[in-house]
Each structure stands twice: as C-alpha cells, then as structure tokens.
Chain A
Amino acid sequence: MHPEAKVTKQVSPFFAFFIVTVMQVGVGIFTLPRTMIVDAGHDGWIAIVFSAVLVSIIIRIIYAMLNKGDTIITIQNKVFGKTLGSFISLFWVFYYSLFVLITLVAYVEILNVWIFPEVSLWVLYLICMLLAYNYTTSGFRAIIGGSLLAVLFVLPFLFFSHLPQGQLHFGSLFPIFDHSLHEMWLSTKTMTFQFLGFEILLMAYPFIKQAPRSHKWAQIGLVFSMIIYLIAFILPVIYFHERHLLTIIWPTLTLWKMEYIGMSIWLLVLLPNMAFGLWSASRVVKQTFNLSQRHSLRGVTLVIFGCALLFTTRIEIQSLSAFTNRLGFYTIFIYIPILFLLQALIIKRRRL
C-alpha cells in the first residue's frame, strides 16, 4: 500500500531546513508588513515570534506523528479506516493545490502591477505553471536542489534595501506591547498563514533519510524564516509611519532597491515552493488512488491553471487568501492535533 521511497531518491535530513524555509518565505513576505500592522500595529513583531512558537509546537507534533506513521495518508487510513481515510485524503489534494494557487496568483499580481501591466495574466500563469510542472517532474531531489539554490542566492537580494534615503524612526517600535491581547491574537492568526507550507513534510517525510533526525533542521528552518520575517516587518515599520504603512500593499517592494531584478528573480524561490505543493498534491493522489503520479500531476496542474484564470482583481485575490488563511489555520491547529491524539489512542489500544 504505501510505497517506501528508495534510498537513491532520498535526501539527507539537513535538507528539511530548505523545505521549510522555501515553503515559508514565499510570496507572503511582500505583503506581510501591512497585514500584520492591521491588528497589532508596531507590535506585530511580537505576534511573529509568538506564532513561530506555535508553529514550532505543531512541527513537533507532526514529527511525533510521522515517526509512528509514514505519511499523513497512511496515518489517516489507520485512524479512520480506508474509506473515510481516502475521503479525507481528497481534502489534502485540495489543500496543497490551494496553496500553489494562492502563491501563483499573488506573485503574478505583483508582476502585473509592478512590471508588466500590459501583459495578459494567463501568459504569466502559463509560464509559471509550466516551469513549476517541469520542476515537479524532475523529482523530489531536483526540487530540493532548486530550493537550496534559491535560499543561497536569491534570499540575499532582500538585503538591498533603500535605507539611507529618508530617516529611520526607531522610536516607531515603542512603546512595546501597546495593543490588547485580542489584537495580538488576531495578528498571530494572520501570521500563521505566512508560516504555513511546512505541511509538505507530511508527504515528504519518507523521502528524508533518517527522517526523525531532520526534526532539528525543520525547526532551524522555522527560526530562519522567522528572522527573515522579522527583518521584513521591522524595516518598513521604522521607515514608514504606521498609518502610511496601512495604505501600502507591498511595503517590502517599495523599500527594495532592486525591485525589478529582485521581483523577477524571486521566481526562483517560488518555483520550488509551487513544485513542492504540486508534488505533494499529486503524491497524495498516487498514494490514495494508485494513479500514476505523472498523470495526477498533470491533472492537478491543469486544474490550478484553470482556477487561476478566475482570479483577476485585487479583491478576489484578497478573499481567496483570507479563505486560505482560515482553512490553513484550522487544519494545522485543530485537525493535526486531533489526528495526533487519535493516532496515539489507537496505538495504545492496539498494545492493550
């Protein structure tokens, strides 16, 4: 039933770092400061740290769960039985595809607004999807390679910011904790959306050599993306006034010195990101329905491309991301812990 990944297709535990980093630092980094400031204002960074802590706990749970099972699919089948388990697996296909869709739509929107207002959106969708499809068909190891190169060579571009012009208002970060707990909680919820993506591990786990050892690297990846998010949040906050920042959709880009080159080369970060999503979605199909992964991959890619064509305006995109945000939050913080408890129960009962 569950095909063990061959040793030659596996990667060392160290690469869990790149999976987590590439999935988390996606396209969200450009819009992050504004969405964070809506509720928690200049205290958003506390929400970032807080939500990183929550996500870290979830990663721990995921590893505890996977160490006893192989992938989310086998666990679900064990817990819910084969019929119900397969049915829930369908949800994961939808879930992974949705994340690919949101990344694609958000990135193309940026390209469209900032560089190519006159290019039809479908052309950009097509290019991105074709490339992502190619990455996916090259296999898991190739996607990992792509994410490694992206982290090494593309993320440093973020440091080319417009700092000297204008003045930095370090005072803007004070007073610390000037917002109510409720506001902080709302921001934390928003922030978890940015940290999502590590769920790829639920499918990628059997492809990591000595997988339990990769837990450490997954956590380091989380810390790394948290630091990048903190920088991406704090820079605009000390540069723009809070009320001004509320009106800027992509503050990171406004601040960026290399926006044209950077935005284009960001493609290299997003391709592995989308490829991981496609890979996981098609992997779920393969494992549940015994369809060949290549066929299911084609299907998933086409469906995502078709759906992307439906989103053209900013408002539609916003509602899509709000929906994904909620869905992701409940899946990760409610469903996963419940599944973990059920799995523990079943294992205990079997022993008795």
Chain B
Amino acid sequence: MVTGCSPQSHYIEDIQYLQAMGFDYIDGEVQANGTTTIFMPVAESLPQSETINVSREDLEDLYSHMQAESSRYVDTSRSRVHLFHQDLAANEGIFGVIDTIQRNPMINQNLKIAMTRGPTKDILNEEYPFHLTVHEYLVELIELNQAEQLPIVDFQDFLYQYYAEGADPFLPLLEKAQNRVDVVGIALFKEDKYIEELSLDKTHVFRKLIDETEEGTINIDIDESRGFALHHLSSSPDWTIKQDADGIYVKVNVNIQGPLREARNINVSKPATIQQLEELAARDFEKQMEEIVHFFQENEIDPIGIGERIGQKVRNFDIKRWEKEEYPNLNVDINVNFTIENTGAVV
C-alpha cells in the first residue's frame, strides 16, 4: 500500500539517458543501439559518450533489455535522434519502432529521425570533432542541413506523411565518412518502407517544390566556358488544383529569386542579358523538377503530397484509388518564374 503513495523518484545524476538511438537489421533481427552521455563531475572535463547495444527480435522489450545492460536507470525520455539502417527500413519498415516511441508519453516527441546507409552502430560509436557528444553532433548536423538544404522533416512530419493517404514520407539520408557524418540526400518511403533515394542536388530542387525556402544555390553552365551561379535563392511554390469534367488538373508556380554571385565570361550589365539568364535558369529548373516528378511517378510514391493537396480542394475525393490509378499518369504543369534581383557589388 505504502509504495503506491508517492511516485518513484530517479535523481537526475543516477539516470543514464539514451539520447541517440539507432536501429540496425542483422540477420533478420532488429538490433537497437543507444548512446548515452557519461557526465564528468569536474567542469573542465567534457562529457563522454557510451553506447549500449541490444539485439532483439521483437521491439516491445528492447527497452527493458537495455536496462539489463546498464547499472543505472535507463531513461528514454530525452532521446533526441533516432537513426534507422537502410536494411531495416527496406525490409521490416520502421513504423514498429516509431509506434513504440509515440505510444510512450514520457518520450519528448520533438525529435529528429534519419536513415543511414551504413549500420547505425558505427555512427553512434564514433567520436566526433568539436568535443560534441554523439547526439549533439547529430542533432546539429540535421538541424543545420534542414535550415540550409534539406526539406524539414522531423518525427511529427514523418507521422503526418505516414498517416496521410495522399502523401509518402521521406527522411534525411546520412552516411558515415572518416570521423564525421555526411548528409547525402533524402530517402523516399512508401508507407514505412524505404523505396529509393534522392541525391543532394535533386533534393534542393525537390525542396523548392514543397517548402518556401530562403537559402539555396544554383550553378548553371551555358556551355563549356560560360556559366553563372546564384546564391541565397528564395523560393515559394504555389499549387493550383482545378477539377473539371475532364478530370483533375494540377499546376504549380514556383517563384525563385536571388542575386547573381558568379558570372563566367558573361556580360551581365545589359538588362536583356539578365532576362535571358532568367529564362535560362527557369527552364533549367523546370526541366529538373519535371524529372523529379516523373521519377516519383515511376516509383509510385508521392512525397510532394499531391494527393493530399487534391483532397483538400476536392469534395468526397477517394485519395486511395486516385493514388493507385491516376497518379502515375498525372500531368503536373510546372512553371518557374525566375528573378535575378541584382548582380552583386559590380555590374
């Protein structure tokens, strides 16, 4: 009777926080790796990371087995990064793990998730520069890259796209290099299974289709000696969906603007030249975007969420049927308006 009268206390210094988790797939078993930080009492010495590895076939009791590996109380409430190995994502799907996270109200749901090319164990066991612990390094890496070049996806966005019938999720794709981790693009999912990946260059273009962006760079070669580059491109997509007797018509206007920062063998002092360059860049973007949309259609995935967009405009719309039957043949009208704001400090 008495034991239930007050909650169980765990003093902060006695807890081993699993701050970054990784899930690998080895011989049909899910292996979970959790990185914890070992704090040092003296202010001068920096905290160190330590990894616990547990392999289990079913996910439900992964956490209790992690506890068995540690002498301290293991707590998952502060996990900030969850990594999934490509094999796991491709074979088992990752929703099982994600569901256990969202089911536990003690876990802060504000977390980053990503897919890795190599085993997550290698990433979590590494020591990283700038004296950062593993989870700090990974969170910073993902956050910074999402600000600069990746479309923003965190745990809740993944769940949104997973549950949405007219959209498919995608995650940042990481790969381990020497003693650092690189962002190499995004991994595209169908439901919770990994299907394909998109390279970093294409991710830039993809991002302009779904998000308003403030940052971005493009380099366009006119021929071998001539070319130009623009920085700090801001863009905003505007999707229009119309329904008439013939069916559904999807159009997107993307406005991109930015300053010119590099001009190789081009005289940019004339307005006419600028207009030509704008035209050139717009066509270039349109081509790339069309390629990406076709790529998605071939793979029957919809990371842009076109189905969702239609569902929000059209009454009584059967998204599921549409995604299956009509989406692969949908003609998306892409139109880019490109504006060169200035040519930098010189003409």
**Chain A residues with a Cβ under 8 A of chain B:** 113-116, 118-120, 122-123, 162, 165-167, 169, 171-172, 174-175, 178, 239-244, 253-254
Known: A119-B6, A120-B5, A254-B109. 16 other contacts (CB 8 A): A115-B7, A118-B3, A119-B5, A120-B4, A123-B5, A162-B110, A165-B156, A166-B152, A166-B160, A167-B160, A171-B312, A178-B316, A240-B160, A241-B163, A241-B164, A244-B160
* B159 contacts the other chain (CB 8 A): yes
Is B157 a contact partner of A167 (Cβ separation < 8 A)? yes
Q: In the complex, what's the smallest C-beta–C-beta distance from B181 to chain A, in angstroms?
A: 22
Is A243 a contact partner of B165 (Cβ separation < 8 A)? yes
* B105 contacts the other chain (CB 8 A): yes
B286-323 vs A, Cβ < 8 Å mask (1 yes, 0 no) = 00000000000000000000001100111110000000
Contact among B160, B162, B313, B316 for A169, CB-based, below 8 A = B160
Is B154 a contact partner of A178 (Cβ separation < 8 A)? no
Instruction: Identify the closest chain A residue to B155 (Cβ).
Output: A166
Task: List residues 129-168 of chain B with CB under 8 A from any CB of chain A.
Answer: 152, 154, 156-157, 159-165
For this complex, 7 residue pairs linking A to B, each with C-beta atoms less than 8 Å apart, are A119-B7, A166-B157, A171-B308, A171-B312, A178-B315, A178-B316, A243-B165
* B179 contacts the other chain (CB 8 A): no
| Bound Cα distance A113, B105 (Å) | 7
Task: List residues 249-308 of chain B with CB under 8 A from any CB of chain A.
Answer: 308
Q: In the complex, what's the smallest C-beta–C-beta distance from B323 to chain A, in angstroms?
A: 14
Q: In the complex, what's the smallest C-beta–C-beta distance from B270 to chain A, in angstroms?
A: 41
Instruction: Identify the closest chain A residue to B110 (Cβ).
Output: A165
Task: Across the A-B interface, give the 5 residue pairs with the lowest CB-CB distance, nearest first.
Answer: A120-B4, A244-B163, A166-B156, A171-B312, A241-B163
Most chain B CB inside 10 Å of its own CB: which residue of A115, A119, A167, A254? A167
Is B163 a contact partner of A171 (Cβ separation < 8 A)? no
| Bound Cα distance A337, B163 (Å) | 44
| Chain A residue contacts of B109, Cβ below 8 A | 254
Main secondary structure of the interface of A (DSSP, over half): loop
Instruction: Identify the closest chain A residue to B309 (Cβ).
Output: A171
| Chain A residue contacts of B154, Cβ below 8 A | 165-166
Q: In the complex, what's the smallest C-beta–C-beta distance from B189 to chain A, in angstroms?
A: 15
Contact among A122, A167, A171, A254 for B152, CB-based, below 8 A = A167
| Bound Cα distance A166, B313 (Å) | 22
**Chain B residues with a Cβ under 8 A of chain A:** 1, 3-8, 105-106, 109-110, 152, 154, 156-157, 159-165, 308-309, 312-316
Q: In the complex, what's the smallest C-beta–C-beta distance from A42 to chain B, in angstroms?
A: 9
Q: In the complex, what's the smallest C-beta–C-beta distance from B219 to chain A, in angstroms?
A: 29
| Bound Cα distance A115, B7 (Å) | 9
Contact among A114, A118, A171, A240 for B159, CB-based, below 8 A = A240
| Chain A residue contacts of B313, Cβ below 8 A | 174-175
Instruction: Identify the closest chain B residue to A165 (Cβ).
Output: B110
Report if A119-B159 is in contact (Cβ < 8 Å); known contacts: A241-B164, A253-B105. Answer: no
| Chain A residue contacts of B309, Cβ below 8 A | 171
| Chain B residue contacts of A116, Cβ below 8 A | 7
Instruction: Identify the closest chain A residue to B6 (Cβ).
Output: A119
Is B164 a contact partner of A243 (Cβ separation < 8 A)? yes
Contact among B4, B110, B160, B164 for A118, CB-based, below 8 A = B4
| Bound Cα distance A172, B5 (Å) | 44
| Chain B residue contacts of A172, Cβ below 8 A | 312
| Chain A residue contacts of B159, Cβ below 8 A | 240-241, 244
| Chain A residue contacts of B314, Cβ below 8 A | 175
Contact among A118, A171, A178, A242 for B8, CB-based, below 8 A = A118
Q: In the complex, what's the smallest C-beta–C-beta distance from A253 to chain B, in angstroms?
A: 7
Most chain A CB inside 10 Å of its own CB: which residue of B7, B154, B314? B7
Q: In the complex, what's the smallest C-beta–C-beta distance from A160 to chain B, in angstroms?
A: 14
| Bound Cα distance A239, B154 (Å) | 13
Contact among A123, A162, A241 for B4, CB-based, below 8 A = A123
| Chain A residue contacts of B312, Cβ below 8 A | 171-172, 174-175
Instruction: Identify the closest chain B residue to A115 (Cβ).
Output: B7
Instruction: Identify the closest chain A residue to B165 (Cβ).
Output: A243
| Bound Cα distance A254, B103 (Å) | 11
| Bound Cα distance A175, B241 (Å) | 13
Q: In the complex, what's the smallest C-beta–C-beta distance from A115 to chain B, in angstroms?
A: 7
| Bound Cα distance A240, B155 (Å) | 11
| Bound Cα distance A185, B161 (Å) | 30
Instruction: Identify the closest chain B residue to A253 (Cβ).
Output: B105
| Bound Cα distance A258, B6 (Å) | 22
| Chain B residue contacts of A244, Cβ below 8 A | 159-160, 162-163
Most chain A CB inside 10 Å of its own CB: which residue of B105, B152, B161, B315? B105
Contact among A120, A123, A239, A253 for B156, CB-based, below 8 A = A239
Instruction: Identify the closest chain B residue to A127 (Cβ).
Output: B5
Is B315 a contact partner of A175 (Cβ separation < 8 A)? yes
| Chain A residue contacts of B163, Cβ below 8 A | 240-244
Q: In the complex, what's the smallest C-beta–C-beta distance from A178 to chain B, in angstroms?
A: 6
Is B160 a contact partner of A241 (Cβ separation < 8 A)? yes
| Chain A residue contacts of B110, Cβ below 8 A | 162, 165
Most chain B CB inside 10 Å of its own CB: which residue of A166, A175, A178, A244? A166
| Bound Cα distance A45, B152 (Å) | 29
